[in-house]
Amino acid sequence: MTSMPTALETFLLVRPEIVLVAGAIVAFLGGAFAGVRRGWLVALAAIAAALFVAGAQPASGLLAADAAGRGSIVSGSVAIDPFSTYVRFVVLGLGLILALVQAGDIFPAAVSRGAAVWRGGTCEEAGTFLLLLAGLSLVGVSDDLVLLFAGLELVSIPTYVLLALKRTDAHGQEASLKYFFLSLVASALFLYGLVCLYGIGGSTRFDAIAAGLRAGGNGVAMALLPVAIGMAMAGAAFRLAAVPMHFYAPDVYEGTSPGNAAVLSTLPKVAGVVVLLRLVGLAIPGPLGDGTAAPAAAAYTELFWQLAAVLAAVTMTVGNVMALVQTNLRRLLACSSIAHAGYLLTGIAVAAAAASVGTAGGRDAVAADASWLAGLGGATATLFYLATYALATIGIFAALAYLGHRWPEWTSGSGPRPPRQEITSVEDLDGLSGTNPVAAFAIAVFLLSLAGIPPLPGFWGKLTLATSALEVDWNAPITLGSRRAAFVALAMILVLNAAIAAAYYLRIIAAMYFRSTKRGVQADGGLAAGIAMLACLVLVGLVTLQPRGLFRTSAAAGDAVSRTPVVAAADAVPPASLTPVATIR
């Protein structure tokens, strides 16, 4: 770890985020005083500039950190390591595609009688979106509870504004208010959890809290642990749309635009995953200097993985069962998003269990954990699956934004033009393969990837999640109540839920390819949304053909979560039967 003084050096480390904020200011001022009307063009230019600045930073080379150790640069409250660099590039890459989706959809009032007119989006929407990306990127590079919470709020507040700006009808306002009030509750719960962590470590810095967990065994620390983990998990569950904070998702997705639904289904999930992995990393270097286990760290990780595993099993099951009975397309995709939050929590539970091995088993357990369980396990699988899920989900909503509205039903040849109707149900996609074969093919590929059909990226993601769960306590016998049995059961639940999910994904594909067209769609959503759909299709194809590149960067980022040196591969070798993961790497 390389430590740098604060002040100017700290600001230099967050140059990409500064570029995003500067772009937001340009969009706001340009729209207010210079008459700029193509706000999303400003957003696209700002995101591209931020990507260039991030790529030009020397710290971006940390993604190629080898097994000899994990380099990182820490200055003030900012830490640049392979994990934060991975998160930053994922955020900026997804933001670039989402900006195209937002720029390409059109949603005039339902009483509009005129022809469809493409609009480039307002500057207020574009500037707000740039602030959201800046906040999410700050969450990834934060090394302090204060910056972490500030970044999360910089994600939440612009989201409220985007929901309110994009749709001004009754459904849109209802969706924004529901998300607003529930997000306030989630933020308050998460803040209480951070306060308890501050009480344990006596500092807001992650390294001080980690030291407090590894050295703490007093009654105060042990009493605060359940409250801290429970509150922090509840706050993160809202952003993941996981049980028990999942109930808002179907209503909000139905009431907002496809562009905003794409934002809600991906960017808050990135924030939730980053937060939970950072919290898991606090206790990975668990044993004390004399080789004995730290009671507070052991209790922390044990409770963390148990709670995450239960939430994962319940969330994926609830989401998939809810989706089976949905006919509204956006509500179905919202329930699918809930189920995928359960898949992501599976990897987080494995990562916490890997940390628990270290806290409970002494130095040898830490060596085994650091060499393969953490590298090929939960953190890597979660980050890999997060990227593949986000690409497919954004691609679906980009396709819906591009398709726009259904063809109107004319009551008479001389009557007024009927109001336009958005695509709302699965039946609206009937016969899409005949009228829009490219859009139908793209949607089918994205749905098959989400279902986990080989050789698409979703299959590799689910495979790594299930395999990482099976790796936990690999050599231990499966006994009732053991951790080995718990994770074998969790892997079986994941596979079963993947089969359940295939039912409603295939229902959409069947509607597009095996039913006749009733009304058809106008494909009036704009060129930008179509470009975003094709970009996601190309990226999904590249990961399908060569998943090893994404897996390697995910593994480097996952290894960096613990901030401990990786031991040589000879010190601990994964089981020979786990070759599917090894071949990806």
Asked if residue 504 belongs to a domain, the reply is yes
Specify the higher pLDDT residue, 335 or 106: 335
What pLDDT does residue 570 have? 31
Q: Is position 415 within any domain?
A: no
* 308-345 b/e (C-beta count within 10 Å ≥ 16 → b): bbebbbbbbbbbbebbeebeebbbbbbbbbbbbbbbbb
The CA distance from 517 to 208, in Å, is: 62
Q: How far apart are CA 211 and CA 83, in angstroms?
A: 20
- Contact between 350 and 378 under an 8 Å Cβ cutoff? The reply is yes
Residue-wise pLDDT for 71-87, tens only, equals: 677 777 888 888 999 99
In this predicted structure, which of 23-37, 305-319, 357-371, 420-434 has the lowest mean pLDDT? Answer: 357-371
pLDDT band at 3 (very low <50, low <70, confident <90, very high): low
Dump pLDDT digits (tens) for 47-70: 999 999 988 876 544 444 443 344
Mean of the pLDDT values across residues 503-519?
Answer: 90
Q: Residue 516 falls within a domain, yes or no?
A: yes
pLDDT band at 6 (very low <50, low <70, confident <90, very high): low
**Bridge partners, residue 422, by sequence:** 405
Name the residue range of residue 432's domain: 2-408+420-584
| Cβ proximity of 378 and 353 under 8 Å | yes
Residue 413 lies inside a defined structural domain of this protein: no
Residue 470 within a domain: yes
For the segment 154-171, what is each residue's pLDDT rounded down to a tens digit? Answer: 999 999 888 888 765 677
**pLDDT on residue 368:** 38
Closest CA to 234 of 182, 281, 282, 270: 182
Please report the pLDDT score of residue 571 as a whole number.
34
Record the tokens describing residue 349, joined without a space. Answer: 């539970």
Amino acid 118: pLDDT:
41
Whether 24 is covered by a domain: the verdict is yes
Residue 409's pLDDT is 63
Q: What is the DSSP letter of 81?
A: S
Q: Is the pLDDT of residue 414 over 70?
A: no
Among 21-35, 120-134, 194-208, 432-446, which range has the highest average pLDDT?
432-446
Instruction: Name every residue whose Cβ is closer than 8 Å to that of residue 50 and which is 6 or more positions away in sequence.
Output: 16, 17, 19, 20, 23, 92, 133
Residue 203: the pLDDT is: 86
pLDDT number for residue 384: 94
Q: What gap in Å lies between CA 45 and CA 41, rounded to an integer? A: 6
Q: How many CA atoms lie within 13 A of 86 on its CB side?
A: 31
Positive or negative CA dihedral for 49, 54, 55, 58?
positive
Q: Per-residue confidence at 574, pLDDT binned at 50, 70, 90?
A: very low
The proportion of the chain whose per-residue pLDDT surpasses 90, expressed as a percent, equals 43
d(Cα 166, Cα 263) in Å, to the nearest integer?
Answer: 12
- What span, in angstroms and rounded, lies between the C-alpha atoms of 8 and 363? 39
Q: Which amino acid is at 100?
A: L
Q: Which residues of 183-195 are buried (b: 16+ CB within 10 A; e: fewer)?
A: beebbebbbbbbe
pLDDT at 364 (0 to 100)? 38
Residue 149 resides in a domain: yes
Q: How far is CA 199 from CA 192, 225, 279, in A?
A: 11, 10, 15
What total number of domains does the chain contain? Answer: 1
Question: Which residues face 491 on adjacent strands?
Answer: none
Assess whether pLDDT exceeds 80 at residue 420.
no
Q: How confident is the model at residue 463 (pLDDT cuts 50, 70, 90)?
A: very high
Where would I find the H helices in 325-436?
329-368, 378-403, 432-435
Provide mean pLDDT across the span 358-363.
41
The model carries a pTM of: 0.87
Please choose, from the candidates 104, 97, 106, the residue with its C-alpha nearest in 3D space to the C-alpha of residue 422: 106
| 178 inside domain | yes
Question: For residues 581 and 464, what is the distance between their CA atoms, to the nearest angstrom?
Answer: 6
